[in-house]
Amino acid sequence: MLRLSKLTDYAVVVLTRLEEGEGVQAAPDLAAATGIAEPTVAKVLKILAHAGLVEGLRGARGGYRLTRPIAEMPLTEVITAIDGPIALTACVDSAVGHCEAEDLCPVRGRWDPVNRAIRDALSGITIADLAPPRAAPVAPPARPAAPLAATA
Amino acid sequence: MLRLSKLTDYAVVVLTRLEEGEGVQAAPDLAAATGIAEPTVAKVLKILAHAGLVEGLRGARGGYRLTRPIAEMPLTEVITAIDGPIALTACVDSAVGHCEAEDLCPVRGRWDPVNRAIRDALSGITIADLAPPRAAPVAPPARPAAPLAATA
DNA sequence: GCAATCCGGACCGGAAAGGTCCGGATTAGC
DNA sequence: GCTAATCCGGACCTTTCCGGTCCGGATTGC
């Protein structure tokens, strides 16, 4: 299904909400605003903070804040932060020695053109492109609600 | 991790082997040639047959055969056949009514530009592009063994 | 009629993701 | 200086899904 984790979805929601709000926002507030369970929001924020996409301010009156506008935040960074590096199959990463049928396997390392293609496709999309109700002036415009994933 | 199932990987291997061999090939033979467990190969072949990518011939001296050369077989068809339609998150498919926070969720259906971008990127790649040791005269040439998936 | 092969499904185990919780560190306000 | 609010880091458990196996039935060639 080519699925990416639900956490990534949450991350986009949270980041969007973070942009809409003003100043620092505490995790519980973001949870209430987005409708996502509080511990989960906290988890997402921790990951994003680790990746440098948001900044956490401790202490009373603390909270989270974006390090830059979401329009300058490529989607790939969020995905990489949460789901790890973009690579389609296990056979593809740096490992070169533990495929039991290594000499027979004809696809050895041949997935990288695919990975590259996906990375290229994703690199042009920012979080702002996924935040519709506001200004979304970007490359792939129009088609607000296409029929949706069919045969692909 | 944007991972796609291991079955898809196997499928590419099997399809490649199917192109290399001649005439119909039985599942056990393909298993031996590829190094993949026999029941698994059978499973993959069944799925591919269902999708019309290969043709199964019953009876003694039966086996499987490609319905067309792998150079004319887009990768997306294989992925769709095995992993289902290409859609990144559950929130994206035709469902419109069971996101508990539907009115709050600002990303509703906004993943489709991403899905579309990925589909476009993948639509230019055929199975033949993933079968290196033979003739692979296609668009993304060169770079036989790039460093590999890093930050994405 | 017999053997080989595909076909369709059910079945089970293991791994990964999703989600929750807790103790500690840090800071603002009183 | 003390208290309360908040982030930080991790461990933990549950559930779902994937990978893999197996079996009975249908079909065809010899």
The pLDDT of residue B83: 86
> How long is the CA A24 to C1' C30 vector, in angstroms?
23
pLDDT for A9 beyond 70: yes
CA distances from A76 to A12, A138, B128 (A): 11, 16, 28
The arithmetic mean of pLDDT across residues A97-110, rounded, is 51
A3 Cβ nearer than 7 Å to chain D strand: yes
Q: Which residue is nearest to nucleotide D5 (CA to C1')?
A: A60
Burial A11-37, CB ≥16 within 10 A → b, else e: bbbbbbbbbebeebbbbebbbebbebe
Contacting residues for B56 by C-beta, under 8 A, at least 6 apart: B45, B46, B49, B62, B63, B64
CA distances from A99 to A2, A17, A86, B42, B140 (A): 23, 44, 20, 20, 25
pLDDT for A141 beyond 70: no
> How long is the CA A38 to C1' C20 vector, in angstroms?
10
Per CATH, the number for B1-133 is: 1.10.10.10
Length reported for chain B: 152
pLDDT for A32 beyond 70: yes
The distance of B74 to chain A (nearest Cα, Å) reads: 10
Nearest Cα to Cα of residue B17 among B38, B31, B37 = B31
Instruction: Name the residues in B30-49 having a C-beta closer than 7 Å to nucleic acid strand D.
Output: 37, 39-40, 42-43
The pLDDT of residue A142: 34
Backbone φ and ψ of A25, nearest 5°: -130, 135
The beta-carbon neighbor of B148 closest among A3, A93, A148 is: A93
| B1-58: pLDDT as tens digits | 577 788 998 899 899 999 988 889 999 999 999 888 999 999 999 999 999 999 999 9
Instruction: Name the residues in B79-138 having a C-beta closer than 7 Å to nucleic acid strand C.
Output: none
Q: Is-contact B24 B34, C-beta < 8 A?
A: no
Bridge partner list, B66? B54
> How high does pLDDT run on average in chain B?
77
CA distances from A88 to A8, A60, A80, A102, B9 (A): 16, 42, 13, 18, 9
Q: Which residue is nearest to nucleotide D22 (CA to C1')?
A: B39
Identify the band that residue A65 occupies on the pLDDT scale cut at 50, 70 and 90: very high
Identify the architecture of domain A6-130 in CATH: Orthogonal Bundle (1.10)
Q: Which residue is nearest to nucleotide D3 (CA to C1')?
A: A60
> How long is the CA B37 to C1' D21 vector, in angstroms?
10
